[in-house]
């Protein structure tokens, strides 16, 4: 099994790396198992213009490199691989990367969430060049241009409404004749003169050589196909939290997001903390993920300190199982 780490952090987006910076500066010598997709969702973003401290913006991958360098500077260790299995049933907490076992007194889970994609050719080819899953991040680049939003849930409504502030027009493409979104959000969308809805329509492909120029749609009722001219396609068909490793161990909501106790990062297992998008169904921003990563490191540090002081189970704030 080898030495027992004070803290192992699983995942290396803004939440995990901020937790690493704080844990490292607290002398906990964290080990970050960063995953093969190290850096998280920002690695597929281009310019980040809403992260405070970068008045001229910063490229997503470059920002994650800076986060990583800062964590490394204070003694964070990294393993670039995915955790394949965990066992949190006894102390120390244990996890495996293939056959290699790692043990820890505390674990911070920051495995993030992944945007769901349509799975069509043009989507991959034009990713970051008009295809996006984040209007808050990328909407500004399509100022005064026509754009498309795919999806019929609250995220699609929110993205579409946000985009009306800067874009010329917004077309929502939804596969049914009724939104899944809450009534109030749907009403706001339907009352907005800048938004048009294409009901019963699915995206067949995205057009454009270098950048998006249009979206091919098919009417699922009539079978008719046409192209909606657009400079961007925002895919808002939901997110998938990366929590399959923790099924049956950590409390999750119906969608698979980890549950944390209010105003903390405590999960239902003592010594296991969760931060970032893996437990955030509301904000999902780099800066909020970083903030919760800081919280997780502080929670872990205090929890470990209490264990050492013999205070026993300090984790009274453990998440409820409801
Ligand atoms: P949802 O799962 O609620 O909605 C996803 C939407 O995408 C559905 O309309 C679905 O269609 C559509 N969809 C799914 N897969 C495909 C596909 N392959 N092709 C085309 N369309 C597809 O996800 P959201 O991200 O919108 O919301 C997640 C949760 O977060 C919800 O509980 C929501 O209420 C909440 N939320 C709340 C907000 C708020 O209150 N301000 C803001 C944002 C999210 P169909 O309807 O046919 O299944």
The pLDDT tens digits for 2-29 are 799 999 999 999 999 999 999 999 999 9
Locate the domains of the chain by residue range.
4-114+239-308, 117-235
**Under 8 Å between Cβ of 29 and 77:** yes
Pocket test for ligand 1, best of 154, 186, 281 (most atoms within 8 A of CB): 154
The bridge status of strand 85-87 relative to strand 93-97 is: antiparallel
Would you state the pLDDT for residue 112? 96
**Under 8 Å between Cβ of 80 and 30:** no
Max Cα separation, the chain? Answer: 70
- pLDDT at residue 311 greater than cutoff 50: yes
Q: Which has the higher per-residue pLDDT, 308 or 105? A: 105
244 — pLDDT class (breaks 50, 70, 90): very high
- pLDDT at residue 319 greater than cutoff 50: no
Q: Which is the closest atom of ligand 1 to the Cα of 202?
A: 20
Q: Give me the count of residues in the chain.
A: 322
47 — pLDDT class (breaks 50, 70, 90): confident
Give the single-character DSSP code of 113. E
16 CA from centroid of ligand 1 (Å):
26
Pocket test for ligand 1, best of 155, 199, 235 (most atoms within 8 A of CB): 155
Helix 286-308 to helix 14-25 angle (10° resolution) is: 40
Q: Which is the closest atom of ligand 1 to the Cα of 151?
A: 7
Catalytic machinery residues = 134, 137-138
Phi first, then psi: give them for residue 255, nearest 5 degrees: -90, -5
CB atoms within 10 A of CB 192: 14
C-alpha distances in angstroms, 234 versus 128, 142, 239? 11, 11, 13
* pLDDT tens profile 137-157: 899 999 999 999 999 998 899
| pLDDT-wise least confident of 37-51, 193-207, 208-222, 291-305 | 37-51
Residue nearest to atom 14 of ligand 1 (CA): 237
Phi first, then psi: give them for residue 33, nearest 5 degrees: -95, 100
**In 12-46, which positions are buried (b, 16+ CB within 10 angstroms) versus exposed (e)?**
bbbbbbbbbbbbbbbebebbbbbbebbbbbbbbbb
Give 308's contacts (C-beta < 8 A, 6+ positions apart): none
- pLDDT at residue 85 greater than cutoff 80: yes
Percentage of the chain modeled with pLDDT above 70:
95
Give the single-character DSSP code of 76. -
Question: Is 117-235 in the same CATH topology as 4-114+239-308?
Answer: yes
- Least Cα distance to 189 among 232, 219, 159, 227 occurs for 159
Would you state the pLDDT for residue 45? 66
Q: Please provide the CATH number assigned to the domain covering 117-235.
A: 3.50.50.60
Quote the mean pLDDT of the chain.
Answer: 93
**Under 8 Å between Cβ of 165 and 76:** no
136 — pLDDT class (breaks 50, 70, 90): confident
| Residues lining ligand 1, Cβ inside 6 A | 118, 150-156, 158, 175-176, 180, 237-239, 281
Average pLDDT score over residue span 58-63: 91
pTM, entire model: 0.77
Q: Please provide the CATH number assigned to the domain covering 4-114+239-308.
A: 3.50.50.60
């Amino acid at each position: 099994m080898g030495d027992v780490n004070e803290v192992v952090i699983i995942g290396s987006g803004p939440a995990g790396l901020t937790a690493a910076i704080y844990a490292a500066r607290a002398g906990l010598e964290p080990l970050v198992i960063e995953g093969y997709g190290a850096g998280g969702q920002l690695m597929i973003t281009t310019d980040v213009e809403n992260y405070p401290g970068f008045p001229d913006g910063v490229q997503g991958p470059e920002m994650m490199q800076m986060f990583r360098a800062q964590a490394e500077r204070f003694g964070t260790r990294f393993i670039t691989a995915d955790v394949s299995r965990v066992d949190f049933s006894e102390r120390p907490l244990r996890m495996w990367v293939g056959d290699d076992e790692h043990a820890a007194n505390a674990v911070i889970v920051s495995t993030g969430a992944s945007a769901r994609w349509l799975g069509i050719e043009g989507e991959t080819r034009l990713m970051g060049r008009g295809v996006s899953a984040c209007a808050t991040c990328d909407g500004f680049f399509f100022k005064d241009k026509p754009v498309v939003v795919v999806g019929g849930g609250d995220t699609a409504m929110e993205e579409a409404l946000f985009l009306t502030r800067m874009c010329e027009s917004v077309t929502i493409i939804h596969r049914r004749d009724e939104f899944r979104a809450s009534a109030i959000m749907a009403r706001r969308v339907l009352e907005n003169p800048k938004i048009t809805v294409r009901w019963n329509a699915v995206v067949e492909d995205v057009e454009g050589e270098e950048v998006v120029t249009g979206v091919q749609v098919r009417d699922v009722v009539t079978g008719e196909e046409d192209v909606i001219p657009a400079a961007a396609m925002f895919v808002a068909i939901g997110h998938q939290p990366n929590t399959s490793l923790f099924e049956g161990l950590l409390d999750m909501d119906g969608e698979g997001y980890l549950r944390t106790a209010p105003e903390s990062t405590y999960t239902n297992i003592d010594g296991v903390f969760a931060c970032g998008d893996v437990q955030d169904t509301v904000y999902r921003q780099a800066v909020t993920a970083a903030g919760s990563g800081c919280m997780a490191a502080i929670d872990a540090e205090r929890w470990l300190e209490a264990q050492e002081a013999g205070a026993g189970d300090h984790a009274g704030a453990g998440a409820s199982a409801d």
